[in-house]
Amino acid sequence: MQFDAALAAQDAFSRSEPELGSDWDSAVELEDTFSSNAGSIAREAYEGLLALSSRHPQAHAFQAFCIYITWQQVTEETIAHHFQTGIRLSETYLASQDGKDQQSIAYVMELYESFRAGLGLEEEDELQVEFRRDTPKGGD
């Protein structure tokens, strides 16, 4: 990965205050719980942050923050659910690039590819496509 997801998450979170309005205090509390705990306590805070994110679909910095912390979840607990969540969040984020900074878009795109690769969904490279094309198909 070409960037540190934890640092990107901190930056995105700090930029999300105006996007969240009256939910900012809740976000701060959840983020503090998430970043200072582990296990089920951190997971509950993470789920709370995702729920908050769903209530603010236009909060681009906060959306990016949630994608970055989903990568942190993947590194803490490598299960398909986290990869799938990362893919879903990334696809939603990348569906529209209006009002989003280019660096965040590039970071999310990189994570999106990593989430997909984690589930074995990476795109075939040219060699794989050529091999598949040249491989005889059944029968004699």
Amino acid 130: pLDDT? 59
Confirm whether pTM is higher than 0.75.
yes
Amino acid 43: pLDDT? 92
Amino acid 104: pLDDT? 95
Q: Which residues of the chain, if any, have pLDDT below 70? A: 123-140
Alpha helices in 1-140 (DSSP H): 5-15, 17-20, 24-36, 39-54, 60-76, 80-94, 102-118, 126-134
Amino acid 2: pLDDT? 86
Per-domain residue ranges of the chain: 5-134
Closest CA to 107 of 16, 32, 19, 7: 7
Amino acid 140: pLDDT? 45
